[in-house]
Amino acid sequence: MEALQLEEYIEEQCELKTYTLEDYEGDVPRWCKGCGDFGILSSVQKLLRDDQVAPESVVAVSGIGCSSRFPHYLNTYGFHGIHGRAMTIATGVKLGRPDLKVLVTMGDGDCFSIGGGHWLHSMRYNTDLTVIVMDNEIYALTKNQVSPTTHCGTSTNTTPHGAVLKEMNVLSVMLGITNTSFLAQTASWTPGHLDKTIKAAWNHKGTSFVRVLQKCPIFSPQAFGQDGKVKAPFTFLRDENGIPVDKVFEKMAPVIDHNCKDLDAAKKIAMMEETSSPLGLLYHNPSIPTYEESLHATADKITPEEKVVRLNEELDKYTI
Amino acid sequence: MPHHGVLTMKESKKIKLDEHIVEFVCDAGEGAQKAAVSFAKVSAKMGNSLWTVEIIPSEIQPPPHTMGSTSGNRIRLSSKTVTNGGNLTNVVVAFNEMNLLSRIKGKMLADDVVVIIDNKWANDPDETIRKQYREILDELKAKGADIYEVPIEEKTMTLIDNPQRGKNMVALGMLGYLYTRDMDILADEIRSIFKKKSKEIQDNNVALLTLGYELAKETINFQYVIESTPFKVPMVAMNGNEAVALGAVAAGFEHCSMYPITPATSATHALSEYFGRMGGIVHQAEDEIAAIGVALGSYYAGRTTLTITSGPGMALKTEFLGLTVMTETPLVVVNVQRGGPSTGLPTKIEQGDLLSSLFSTPGDAPKVIMAPTDIEECYHVMITARKIAEEFRMLVIVLTDANLATGTQLYPRPKLSTESFPPPMDMSPIPVGTKPYDWDEETGLSRRIIPGQPGGMCRTTSLNHSPEGKVNHDPDMNQKAHRMRSRKLMTLQKSLKKPEVYGDKEGDLLVVSWGSLKGPIDEAVDNLRKEGKKVGAISLQFLSPFPPGLKEIFSKYKKVMVVELNYSDDWDDPMVNEDTRRYSQLSMLLRSHTLVDVDCFTRVYGRPLMPMEIYDALSKRLAQK
């Protein structure tokens, strides 16, 4: 046996295999050049590599849209579902298999519009899911229609004279939902901040919701400042329990102090939409029980044989 | 007859019967259901077969003394096996005339019905009530009813102050007399109902029961005797929703994801009750779509999961049904059918969801559809459905209905073993190169890979995909993927048995049905054959795929006719002809499947068809050219 083979053999036998980035690479991504989705994919892959997460222990669930092609590009288990329903499938996976790590990727239309009902209720369930919404403020795959987060006045194919409605403040919505336990916002062009935010979300037990601000290079290049040049409408949140703010970001945008344990402070920040979009961990409460823990606590752990005994006891009640 | 201590036997005329239908109705909250259930239970203990139907008001607190407030039970008792609710009611006990009127309006009472009614309304201070009481009874009497006006409430008040809390027991005692029930067993049953209450309360209720018995004896000079032989095997009595729930546990289902909808919800109530002790969970989702989404996600992840709903819920689940088929994820969906379209008749039976179950999804989505014909099958179908879903990686829709859901039937107690449970979740490593859709060209079957299996990482997608699970837009691959999914249905079809014909194996008329109409149809066929008519019947447990041999069976009869509970145009409607007639759902399918001119007789009364109604329809069809 050659030395290399032996090493591989030993690694396999002793489960000492070291996962590299390649182990998490699925199909070659087919997103457009300049799309922020690439950065998020690479962020997730780095995270899995850093934590040496077994690829078979992860399920990536998505809906429909550009962002929802994500599972195809990640070499874990993946479920590319139907429009708006990713949260329901992911909840099912986690309820069925609490031992699996579940990642959900959606777009703004997918999550906030057609999936709106599931979004709200899933936040309340607080199932242990890492949720990433890639928010480019536009329907891109269907070719440029207005989304709930499209800014008022934006011209799209369905609003050629400008969107008439004011955009939805999704952060304040989530901070109003019982059991919201982790809410963060980051941007696709702040790579270090993105990585750290996704990592913090991954490590949170409960529904960790990350909204990633990004532009669609084709249909919303104007989103978040002209040509993606970040001028102003951001504020970084500095918080020892939150996402560290690199020096370089301090030059890009204002930085304010925040306490992510303080729900009222988080709500205030979320409502500052007119002037600034907060980047960082808005709210974190690790003590809220997860849905799967609460639900499974109601079920006895029994053997099949014991189940037959108990089922017979139920039948006794119906026996004449 | 063994009798209760204080009773003395007086001679009364004994009328021997094979079977009888008795109803007990009152205002909601007056306890008819409790008393009727006890009566049914005691009859079953004595060895009668039965089918009971709940009479349920559609509102939670309807105004009393109205037709809408009528609540109670309808019980068919027989010395032989009972498979359905039967024909018209022979005996009705009513606490007021409006309860009685609701049953008259429902056309449920036989002309010669025996009526036992509280006479307090005859002297009610309100003239309107006195008048309507008299009119209703006079009208019934004119048609031939035998009416007993009895001071039920007055007598009850000789023992207790509040008649609302005891007159049901007096009425139960009367029924005990009328049907020569064993009063010791009845008294024991009453004590067991009140076992958590004080001995005084138990004694009071037994005293009321005895009072009712004596009251009936003074008033009615005959008694019915329905021969009963104690059962040789242990029997269980439950409704179809409870049977579905127990069957689901026996099948090894561990999760149920649901959203409340009548008349399906009580099945999930039962599951919620059982699952805690059985190691399972019930998730009440935010809506019908989420309910199936969670079920699908859970089954995809390897957990045996079902969802239970009714028509409007099915409509909302449609896109997920397609996803289930496309991703070849096992899933069992129970649809307890109710009247449609739209909100329709939420508490009442219809068999209106066959075509929508088959064809609602966009594109071609082959799936399995099964329909239990009685409550016993509601239990067993769950085990078969689970096995097919997993072995074929298919969506299995189980169609029951509101009649099965709330009816109660006696059936042999199922034998339980771990064999009906699925094998432990497969967590073995997947060999390198294994494809998630490695379709066998002949059968369309492929090995299911479960998340967590090392080496099995793959994508499951709603888009058309290759055997590798990759998104694929290639024309040939789309054609092939469709063919493979269709092939699975054929593979299953090969394992199905030719349906068994009830009655004549060849002759003038074959009746084809599905679901809970089997019982009344078989009875109608029995009656026609007694007259020498050559008639047979088949009931289809599988609606997709159809079992083999249908065309061959059809060819043995001069006429073939479907009887089912969904809408079709009647031939005698002046607008109806070959060009305009809309056929019923199963007949449409059978016509295209066999190219035989299958006729249909259907009604959407919101209740099951009675054997006599089916008998009339079949007789009419036989008489036609």
Q: Do B278 and A96 touch (CB under 8 A)?
A: no
The pLDDT confidence band at residue A9, using thresholds 50, 70 and 90, is low
Q: Where are the domains positioned within chain A?
A: 15-289
Residues B408 and B531 in one domain: no
Q: Are B182 and B150 in contact (CB under 8 A)?
A: no
B170 and B70 in a common domain? yes
Give A280 to chain B, closest Cα distance, Å. 30
What tokens does B619 get?
């007789």
H-helix or E-strand containing B115? strand B109-118
Domain that holds residue B118: 13-226
* The pLDDT of residue A234 is above 90: no
The 10 Å Cβ neighbour count of residue B466 is 15
Residues B392 and B363 in one domain: yes
β partners of residue B55 = B72
In a domain, B460, yes or no: yes
Q: What is the pLDDT of residues A263-296, one digit of tens each?
A: 999 999 999 865 578 999 999 999 999 999 999 9
Q: Are A108 and B343 in contact (CB under 8 A)?
A: no
**Closest chain A residue to the Cα of B415, Cα to Cα:** A312
Whether residue A161 has pLDDT greater than 80: yes
> Would you call A79 and B297 a contact, using CB atoms and an 8 Å cutoff?
yes
Could you tell me if A259 and A178 are in contact, meaning their C-beta atoms sit under 8 angstroms apart? Answer: no
Within-domain flag for B7: no
Q: Chain centroid to CA B620: how far?
A: 28
User: Strands B408-412, B235-239: parallel, antiparallel or unpaired by DSSP?
Assistant: antiparallel
Query: Two tokens at B154?
Result: 């007055």
Instruction: Please judge whether B452 and A75 are an interchain contact, meaning their C-beta atoms are less than 8 angstroms apart.
Output: no
β-pairing, B502-503 with B535-539? antiparallel
Q: Answer yes or no: is B6 within a domain.
A: no
Nearest to B599 by CA among B608, B609, B588, B607: B588
Query: Which residue intervals of chain A are DSSP H helices?
Result: 3-13, 37-51, 86-96, 108, 116-125, 170-175, 191-203, 247-252, 263-270, 291-296, 304-318
Residue B499: count other Cβ atoms within 10 Å of its Cβ. 19
**Which among B257, B279, B456 has CB closest to A56?**
B456
Question: What tokens does B622 get?
Answer: 């036989």
Q: How many CB atoms lie within 10 A of CB B200?
A: 8
| ipTM confidence | 0.94
Q: Quick one: B163 and B200 in the same domain?
A: yes
Two tokens at A160? Answer: 């050629």
Please give the C-alpha separations between residue B223 and each of B8, B114, B207, B257, in angstroms, as whole numbers: 15, 12, 21, 50
Q: Which of A59, A87, A117 sits opposite B451 (nearest CB)?
A: A59
Mean pLDDT, all residues of chain A = 92
Within a domain: B618: yes
Handedness of CA B468, B473, B479, B483 (dihedral sign): positive
Contact A89 B286 (CB under 8 A): no
Q: Write the DSSP symbol of residue B164.
A: G
Mean pLDDT of A217-226: 78
Q: What pLDDT, on a 0 to 100 scale, did the predictor assign at position B10?
A: 56
**Predicted pLDDT of residue A8:** 59
Burial class, B468, CB count within 10 angstroms (exposed 0-12 / middle 13-18 / buried 19+): middle
Q: Is A92 on the interface with B (CB under 8 A)?
A: yes
Torsion of CA A163, A169, A174, A177, to 10 degrees: -90
Name the token pair of A110. Answer: 């997918």
pLDDT per position as a tens digit, B31-80: 999 999 999 999 999 999 999 999 988 778 889 999 999 999 999 999 99
Residues of B with Cβ-Cβ distance to A296 under 8 angstroms? 281
Q: What is the pLDDT of residues B251-266, one digit of tens each?
A: 999 999 999 999 999 9
What CATH number does residue B328 fall under?
3.40.50.970
What is the Cβ-side half-sphere exposure of residue B457, based on CA atoms within 13 angstroms? 22
Token pair recorded at residue B427: 């967590």
A88 vs B280, B294, B470: nearest CB? B294
Q: Quick one: pLDDT band at residue B171, thresholds 50, 70, 90?
A: very high
Residue finishing a domain among B495, B514, B534? B495
Distance between CA atoms of B180 and B172, rounded to whole angstroms?
12
Peptide bond preceding B341: is omega within 30 degrees of 0, i.e. cis?
A: yes
Structure tokens at A153: 């006045």
Rounded to 5 degrees, φ, ψ at A233 are -70, 45
**Which superfamily, per CATH, for A15-289?**
Thiamin diphosphate (ThDP)-binding fold, Pyr/PP domains (3.40.50.970)
Distance CA B66, CA B198 (A): 34
Contact B462 A80 (CB under 8 A): yes
The CA R_g of chain B, rounded to the nearest whole Å, is: 27
User: Is position B221 within any domain?
Assistant: yes
B149 forms beta bridges with B117
In terms of DSSP H, where are the helices of B148-264?
A: 152-156, 167-178, 183-193, 199-219, 240-251
B61 token code pair:
């607190």
Q: Which residues of B585-621 are buried (b: 16+ CB within 10 A; e: fewer)?
A: bbbbbbbeebebebbbbbbbbbbbbbbebbbebbbeb
Distance CA A63, CA A114 (A): 10
Read off the pLDDT of residues A54-88 as tens digits, 9 standing for 90 and up: 999 999 999 999 999 999 999 999 999 999 999 99
Q: Beta B331-337 vs B395-401: how paired, if at all? A: parallel
Instruction: Place A17 in a pLDDT band, splitting at 50, 70 and 90.
Output: confident
Number of domains, chain B? 4
pLDDT of A10 above 90:
no
Residue B77 sits in the same domain as residue B99: yes
Q: Which residue has the tokens 């001071």?
A: B151
Cα separation, B227 vs B80, whole angstroms? 9
Q: How confident is the model at residue A228 (pLDDT cuts 50, 70, 90)?
A: very low
| Mean residue pLDDT across chain B | 95
* Cα B254 to Cα B265: distance, rounded to the nearest angstrom: 17
For residues B21-30, give the mean pLDDT. Answer: 94
Phi, then psi, of B141 in degrees rounded to 5: -60, -40
Give yes or no: residues B290 and B189 share one domain. Answer: no
- Report if residue B231 sits inside a domain: no
Q: For residue B432, name the pLDDT band (cuts at 50, 70, 90).
A: confident
Pick the last residue of a domain from B401, B420, B439.
Answer: B420
Are B514 and B619 members of one domain? yes
Helices B611-623, B518-530: inter-axial angle, 10-degree rounding: 50
Nearest chain B residue to A291, by CA: B283
Q: Tell me the chain B residues in contact with residue A92 when contact means C-beta distances shorter than 8 Å.
A: 257, 293-301, 305
The answer to whether residue A40 scores a pLDDT higher than 80 is yes
Question: Does B262 lie in the same domain as B157?
Answer: no
Q: What is the pLDDT of residues B456-489, one digit of tens each?
A: 999 999 999 999 999 999 999 999 999 999 999 9
Nearest Cα neighbor of B514 from B401, B362, B411, B391 is B401
**B495, B510, B526 - which closes a domain:** B495
CATH number at residue B516: 3.40.50.920
